[in-house]
Amino acid sequence: MTTTQKRSRRRRTVIVSATLAAVLAAGGGAAWAADRFLVQHVSISDVSAYEAENSTVTEEVTATTNGTVDGTTYSSDQADITVSTVTTGSGDDTVTYYVADVLLTDATALRSAFAGDAYGTNITETTSAIAEDNGAILAINGDYYGFRDTGIVIRNGVVYRDEGAREGLAFYLDGTVEVYDETTTTADELVADGVWNTLSFGPALVADGAAIAGIEDVEVDTNFGNHSIQGEQPRTAVGVIDENHLVFVVVDGRAEGYSRGVTMTELAEIMISLGAETAYNVDGGGSSTMYFDGEVINQPSNGGERGTSDILYIAGGG
């Protein structure tokens, strides 16, 4: 099989059927539901070309690897990455999560990529497929921007959507990362201020090194058919230790005796234990995936990877 054939095979649309089935079962509006949750709507078909034309910042990242996966540091002139596995508790109270401690020498080494190299709604691929297509050494699932039509979307210095709706996370070119209120600014203002990437999901988990009150009650979306994010769930989170020093965490869940998942408060406590001064929750559940050095290292709760709209990643060497 040629490389082109492999990529074509990887880019098959992944249908997230659970939500759709619930919507269709409700009756009435089936056509609307199919259009909203199934039919691909492509606004930009070649994101790579679009970003090359519109971004004012270009950075090529290379990396070299050594040793085994767990507890090993992977180094390049752009980033040092240490990945480890943590297991706590026992029996039904066991929690297993994966940690990637990332020290960047340049903020642009952390990049985003869209499924199928296209921007729009209902365009999905697995995290590993997107990672492989972009030469990633490390990747986590993103905010699943394509599930909703609100939220500010800035990726690799380029504005894709300017519909402020919630608490977002902004990665700046100077290496700082901040939680911000999307409704009080615009995407163009953020780019002018030096924002390189944004995520729009939430909630924020940690501020000034302490867990934020009330995070158990936050609903990210009120879309018809959307599931609650409360309770013990698989999770993905981004933490900020210092400028250009990040920590990514993926918590497995829904697997008795292996990992039950965690609440938002427990996720905040994990991030604090890793040294995060700021932390932010992104898409979780079946989407929660960490890819490292050519493979998915966690155990996604669906029994395999679920398609998603986007990833955050660091590129590796050829």
Q: How confident is the model at residue 68 (pLDDT cuts 50, 70, 90)?
A: very low
Query: Domain containing 203: what range?
Result: 3-315
Q: How confident is the model at residue 38 (pLDDT cuts 50, 70, 90)?
A: confident
Are residues 265 and 285 in contact, defined by beta-carbon separation less than 8 angstroms?
no
Q: Into how many domains does the chain fold?
A: 1
Q: What is the pLDDT of residue 316?
A: 85
Residues in the chain: 318
pLDDT of 152 > 50? The answer is: yes
Buried b or exposed e, range 55-81, using 16+ CB within 10 angstroms: beeebebebebeeebeebebebebbeb
Q: How confident is the model at residue 64 (pLDDT cuts 50, 70, 90)?
A: very low
Contacts of 5 (CB under 8 A, 6+ apart): none
| pLDDT: which is higher, 57 or 231 | 231
DSSP 107: G
